[in-house]
C-alpha cells in the first residue's frame, strides 16, 4: 500500500506513524511475488507528493475532499 498515510490515532504508535520507504515497498512487493501472488495489482511507489493529499479527507473543513469530480 504505497499510498499509506498515518492519520488519527496513528500518531500514538511510532511503528505506524510514518510513511513507508521505497526499500520497504520493494521488499514487500518481492515477498508477495515469492509467495505466488501474481494476479494482484501492485501500485507503483511514487513517494510523497501534494497530489496524494487531494484524496485525504479533511473532516475539519466544510469541503471534506480537496478533489472534486463533476458528475454529469
In the predicted structure, residue 31 carries a pLDDT above the cut 60: yes
Size of the chain in residues: 72
Q: Please give the pLDDT value at position 13.
A: 95
What integer is the mean pLDDT of 24-39?
88
Q: Is the pTM of this model over 0.75?
A: no
26's CB contacts (< 8 A; 6+ apart) are: 45
Question: Could you tell me the CA-to-CA distances from 55 to 28, 38, 49, 66, 69 in Å, in that order?
Answer: 24, 28, 11, 7, 11
- What is the share, in percent, of the chain residues with pLDDT greater than 90? 19
Model pLDDT, residue 56: 72
Q: Above pLDDT 70, what percent of the chain?
A: 76
For the chain, the first-to-last Cα distance in angstroms comes to: 31
Q: What's the confidence (pLDDT) of residue 52? A: 59
Amino acid at each position: 500500500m504505497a499510498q499509506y498515510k498515518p492519520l488519527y490515532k496513528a500518531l500514538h504508535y511510532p511503528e505506524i506513524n510514518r510513511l513507508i520507504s521505497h526499500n520497504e515497498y520493494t521488499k514487500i512487493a518481492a515477498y508477495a511475488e515469492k509467495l505466488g501472488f501474481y494476479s494482484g495489482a501492485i501500485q507503483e511507489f511514487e513517494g510523497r507528493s501534494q497530489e496524494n493529499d487531494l484524496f485525504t479527507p479533511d473532516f475539519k473543513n466544510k469541503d471534506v475532499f480537496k478533489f472534486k469530480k463533476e458528475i454529469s
